[in-house]
Amino acid sequence: MAYRNGNYTAFFVAEPFSAGALGAHATKDFCYYNMLRMWKGADSSFPFNDSHDKTYNVRDNSNWDLTLKPRLRERLNNSKNVILFLSSNTVNSRALREEIDYGINYQGLPIIVIYPEYATKESLLTNGSLKSAVKNLWDGLPALRDSMIKVPTLHIPLDKNLIEQSLRNENFMIATKTAPKIFPYTP
């Protein structure tokens, strides 16, 4: 059995992958992923353990079936949860569909959904429930919308302290996860 201590980060990168010098770096969701890496680099106690660093890198023009898809699955197999950046910029790409479907439906990984366009936990809510505008983002990623009820799914704004608390929360780790449910962040 794999040692599942990684945080698998799922984010949109345009397809076909750009062969230009910026490649994925030109995609907003990828920039949010790099922000997590930056926080970890600046503070080794920040609880982000990047599953993408656990296998060798692949080129953006690698073959989907022979290289990219197996590498995504290998990384998910070694992860304790999935961190998903979901925004109005997120597109239902083949890679995101695979990451979410395999992560939830085959691995049972808890999901921490981070909404970059929201800065506070209160901004995600109306009367204690997730806003319609937040829920509407789920329609752009049907694999998430249709499967997230199978695993604990935490919804949080882009706030470093809340992200840190969420990454430390054992209810959203594979070995100690809570019952499947959609959770808005509460301290």
C-beta of residue 9 within 8 angstroms of C-beta of residue 51: yes
Question: 115 in helix, strand or coil?
Answer: strand
Low-confidence ranges of the chain (pLDDT < 50): 17-22, 25
Question: 62 in helix, strand or coil?
Answer: coil
The confidence score (pLDDT) of residue 68 equals 79
pLDDT in tens, 19-64: 444 455 456 888 899 999 999 999 999 999 999 776 555 555 566 6
The confidence score (pLDDT) of residue 4 equals 87
The confidence score (pLDDT) of residue 70 equals 86
Helices and strands: H and E segment counts in the chain: 6, 7
The confidence score (pLDDT) of residue 187 equals 54
Q: Please tell me the distance from the alpha carbon of residue 146 to that of residue 108, in angstroms, as a whole number.
A: 14
The confidence score (pLDDT) of residue 19 equals 44
Encoded tokens for 39:
């926080």
